[in-house]
């Protein structure tokens, strides 16, 4: 087996699992079928996902979307391994969610993935933190919020022509380079040189494949890592900002607030208060 699945939490009509895949470029793509609606948040690695809705390259921050009863294929010709936080919802459970979401019209997902979206950044940081801290009580609420957010966003995401496999490979290599060196300086021209393309062509295909520009992906990666550390540690905000790759604290504070909707200090304080409140309820 190239993938291991560990169920983190479950309830009537839903469950969430930590899925770790170790497949590499030399392994054949594996085929499976979605039993329920699936919304899988990619937390590391890249892979190609092909389903009835189309084909897409999945990178950290993206959401894989699966419909019940449909077959799908995952391949790793672009690199080895990935890890996902996979939420699964039964049709009846998902139908109740969609019925309560303003603007959501269809139950089935029409696209194979959602690219990393600023509107979901805070939510995905919460979900990854819950996994790392084994906070199983948080997952039912997180699943509902993620399903509702996806039901709204997926209906407005246009289906684009699939990029070539060569371009997907180039972008996957760049994504992994950004993941590896996100805390240091990375230039667009350097990424383009490493994939043997012109900066303009690289920028175009990166945006088409990943759903955002290289700089936006780099910024998302840095902010996500900072958000997780703010939730999990008591380290100084400045230390977290500098370790994440920000050279200026004011720039970090401004960008964090723009994406997360609050300052790093407010983000940490509110989460700490919520954690203490939940502990009191358990007692």
Q: What are the tens digits of pLDDT across the range 47-58?
A: 999 999 999 999
Give the residue from 234, 263, 235, 267 showing the smallest Cα distance to 251: 263
Q: Given CA atoms 150, 225, 174, 72 in this order, what sign does their dihedral have?
A: negative
How far apart CA 56 and CA 151 sit, in angstroms, is 19
207 or 163: which leads in pLDDT:
207
Average pLDDT over residues 195-217: 86
Asked whether residue 1 carries a pLDDT value surpassing 60, the answer given is no
Give the residue from 197, 259, 251, 206 showing the smallest Cα distance to 57: 206
**Cβ pair 178, 186 in contact under 8 A:** yes
The pLDDT of residue 86: 97
The pLDDT of residue 156: 44
The pLDDT of residue 201: 82
Domain with residue 182: its CATH number is 1.10.10.60
Question: Could you tell me the residue range of the domain that residue 113 belongs to?
Answer: 3-156
Tell me which DSSP letter residue 108 carries.
S
- The verdict on 114 and 12 lying in the same domain is yes
Asked whether residue 96 carries a pLDDT value surpassing 90, the answer given is no
How far apart CA 256 and CA 4 sit, in angstroms, is 34
- The verdict on 229 and 263 lying in the same domain is yes
- The verdict on 92 and 69 lying in the same domain is yes
Last residue of a domain, one of 90, 123, 156: 156
Average pLDDT over residues 73-101: 88
Asked whether residue 20 carries a pLDDT value surpassing 80, the answer given is yes
The pLDDT of residue 157: 44
Indicate the range of 79-83, 157-161, 205-209 predicted with least confidence. 157-161
- Give the pLDDT band (50/70/90) at residue 274: low
- The verdict on 118 and 79 lying in the same domain is yes
Average pLDDT over residues 218-236: 93
Return the H-helix or E-strand segment holding 41.
strand 37-45
- Give the pLDDT band (50/70/90) at residue 99: confident
- The verdict on 24 and 55 lying in the same domain is yes
Roughly what angle, to the nearest 10 degrees, separates helices 237-244 and 249-260? 90
Could you tell me if residue 213 is inside a domain?
yes
- The verdict on 114 and 177 lying in the same domain is no
Give the residue from 263, 169, 191, 179 showing the smallest Cα distance to 218: 179
Q: What is the pLDDT of residues 140-178, one digit of tens each?
A: 889 988 988 898 886 544 445 667 888 888 999 999 999
- The verdict on 57 and 197 lying in the same domain is no
Q: Is 68 exposed, middle or buried (0-12, 13-18, 19+ CB in 10 A)?
A: middle
Could you tell me if residue 137 is inside a domain?
yes
- The verdict on 78 and 20 lying in the same domain is yes
- The verdict on 150 and 56 lying in the same domain is yes
Please tell me whether the overall predicted TM-score, pTM, comes out greater than 0.85 for this model: no
The pLDDT of residue 160: 52
Close Cβ partners of 67 (under 8 Å, ≥ 6 residues apart): 34, 37, 51, 52, 53, 108, 109
The pLDDT of residue 226: 96
What's the chain's average pLDDT?
87
Could you tell me if residue 281 is inside a domain?
no
Last residue of a domain, one of 99, 125, 156: 156
- The verdict on 94 and 128 lying in the same domain is yes
1 or 162: which leads in pLDDT:
162
- pLDDT > 90 in the chain, percent: 51
Indicate the range of 77-81, 124-128, 167-171, 174-178 predicted with least confidence. 77-81
- The verdict on 231 and 111 lying in the same domain is no
- The verdict on 178 and 139 lying in the same domain is no
Could you tell me if residue 282 is inside a domain?
no
- pLDDT > 70 in the chain, percent: 91
Domain with residue 143: its CATH number is 2.60.120.10
Last residue of a domain, one of 136, 156, 176: 156
Asked whether residue 27 carries a pLDDT value surpassing 70, the answer given is yes
How far apart CA 218 and CA 265 sit, in angstroms, is 22
If one counts the domains in the chain, the total is 2
Task: Give the three-class secondary structure for 31.
Answer: strand
Q: Are strands 54-58 and 47-51 parallel, antiparallel or unpaired?
A: antiparallel
């Amino acid at each position: 087996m190239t993938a291991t699945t560990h169920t983190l939490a479950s309830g009537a009509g839903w469950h969430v699992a930590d899925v770790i895949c170790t497949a590499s470029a030399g392994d054949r793509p594996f085929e499976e079928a979605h039993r329920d609606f699936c919304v899988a948040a990619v937390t590391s690695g890249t892979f190609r996902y092909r389903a009835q809705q189309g084909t897409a390259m999945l990178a950290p921050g993206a959401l894989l979307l699966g419909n019940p009863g449909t077959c799908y294929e995952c391949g790793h010709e672009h690199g080895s391994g990935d890890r996902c936080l996979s939420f699964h919802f039964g049709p009846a459970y998902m139908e109740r969610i969609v019925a309560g979401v303003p603007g959501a019209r269809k139950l089935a997902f029409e696209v194979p993935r959602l690219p990393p979206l600023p509107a979901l950044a805070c939510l995905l940081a919460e979900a990854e933190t819950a996994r790392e801290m084994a906070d199983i009580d948080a997952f039912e609420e997180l699943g509902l919020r993620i399903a509702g957010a996806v039901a709204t966003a997926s209906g407005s995401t246009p289906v684009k022509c699939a990029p070539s496999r060569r371009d997907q490979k180039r972008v996957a290599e760049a994504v992994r380079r950004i993941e590896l060196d996100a805390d240091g300086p990375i230039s667009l021209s350097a990424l383009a040189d490493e994939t043997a393309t012109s900066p303009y062509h690289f920028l175009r295909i990166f945006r088409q494949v990943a759903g955002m520009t290289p700089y936006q992906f780099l910024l998302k990666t840095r902010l996500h890592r900072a958000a997780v550390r703010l939730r999990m540690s008591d380290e100084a905000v400045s230390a977290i900002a500098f370790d994440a790759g920000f050279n200026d604290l004011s720039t970090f504070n401004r960008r964090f607030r723009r994406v997360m909707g609050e300052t790093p200090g407010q983000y940490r304080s509110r989460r700490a208060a919520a954690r203490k409140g939940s502990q009191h309820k358990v007692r």
